Amino acid sequence: MDKSNIEIFKILFSRKKHIVLISLISVVLAYVFTMPLFIKPIYKSTSYVYPANIGLYSEESLTEQLLQYLHSNDIRLYLYKKYNLAKHYKIDTLKKTHMFAYDEIYDKKVGISITKYESVEIKVEDYSPDTAQLLVNGIIDGVNWLIEKEHHEKYADDVKNTKLNVDFAQKEIDSTQHILNDLSEKYGVVDLPVQLKEATKAYYANLNNTRLNEVLSNLGKCGVEFAKLTAYLKYQMKNYALVVGLYEKSLADLNSKKNHVALASKPTYPVVASWPKRTIVMVITGISMFILACIYFVFVDRAKTVYQQISSKS
């Protein structure tokens, strides 16, 4: 072994009590200074969610779409207003930059990411365990509110458009019925198949009279048109039933209330602080001070040795 290394080990061995004492004192101080009296404990609430009833609007997956909603500025503002976070985070709202300060705090306190199981993890840290859990619930409620608002706007447009189709289909029916009524009033045609059947029977029975001739004449004048309009009216009635069905569906979608976030794990209530981790802090502090103490005593003792050697020569 190198002579200098042996010398270092000798120094450390001679200073072992000092090094151990310094390390122990640092561990005790780390324990004391990680108490709530000196450092406010931070609590973290976590929830895992999946998308539900969102609807595929692009090539992104439903989970990615949900992530976009969660990261939107609307959610930040929703929490800011609902829970009066300016007061909670002690933000001076009289300053022009107060929203910038809120965004900085929000980015530090809130974490949202996709997991390997295609769920979304929502994490919120706060000095209060109640507030941490409350804000996670608030984010979930806010996403439901935001998606429901967008869906309501979309379905409101659908209701408006399908109602226009219903009104148009009704006008077409009324117009065709009006023409048929005019033909019935003018030519006395009410039920073309029945009247044609009766007229044919009378004709072959040689019931040659003025009324029969008049009926046959009227049927000849408007029969084809009446038949076409009757068939067209039936088609319009089917189309009307179809558009009414679409209108009622869009109206039901508009009035329905859905959750757009499925909970895989409800927001946890943090019982133990996530920071500071007292054990970790104590271990890191103890190891760090042990190393620093070793370096310090090696440096000091070797410096003393060199100084003594210089003094003896002089």
Which tens digit of pLDDT belongs to each residue from 79-122? 999 999 999 999 999 999 999 999 999 999 999 999 988 899 99
Provide CB contacts within 8 A for 262, sequence distance 6+: 49, 50, 51, 52
List C-alpha distances in Å: 225 to 184, 190, 192.
Answer: 12, 13, 11
Higher pLDDT, 203 or 277: 277
Highest mean pLDDT of the ranges 82-91, 145-154, 268-277? 82-91
Question: How far is 278 from 284, CA to CA, in rounded Å?
Answer: 10
Q: What is the largest CA-CA distance in the chain?
A: 160
Mean pLDDT, range 243-253, rounded to an integer: 90
pLDDT at 146 over 70: yes
Residue 150 has pLDDT above 80, yes or no: yes
Q: First-to-last CA distance in the chain? A: 32
- The answer to whether 276 touches 34, Cβ cutoff 8 Å, is yes
The candidate with the shortest Cα–Cα distance to 71, out of 120, 12, 4, is: 120
292 CB-near residues (< 8 Å, 6+ apart): none
State the average pLDDT over residues 31-45.
83
Report the percent of the chain where pLDDT is more than 90. Answer: 43
In this predicted structure, the answer to whether residue 195 has a pLDDT above a threshold of 50 is no
Whether the pLDDT of residue 314 is over 90: the answer is no
Task: Please report which confidence band the pLDDT of residue 10 belongs to, taking 50, 70 and 90 as the band edges.
Answer: confident
Sign of CA dihedral 14, 20, 21, 25: positive
Average pLDDT rounded to a whole number, residues 124-137 = 95
Arithmetic mean of pLDDT, 273-290: 85
Task: Please check the confidence at residue 2 and state whether its pLDDT lies above 80.
Answer: no
pLDDT higher than threshold 80 for residue 299: yes
Q: What is the pLDDT of residue 277?
A: 79
The per-residue pLDDT for 124 is 97
pTM: 0.68
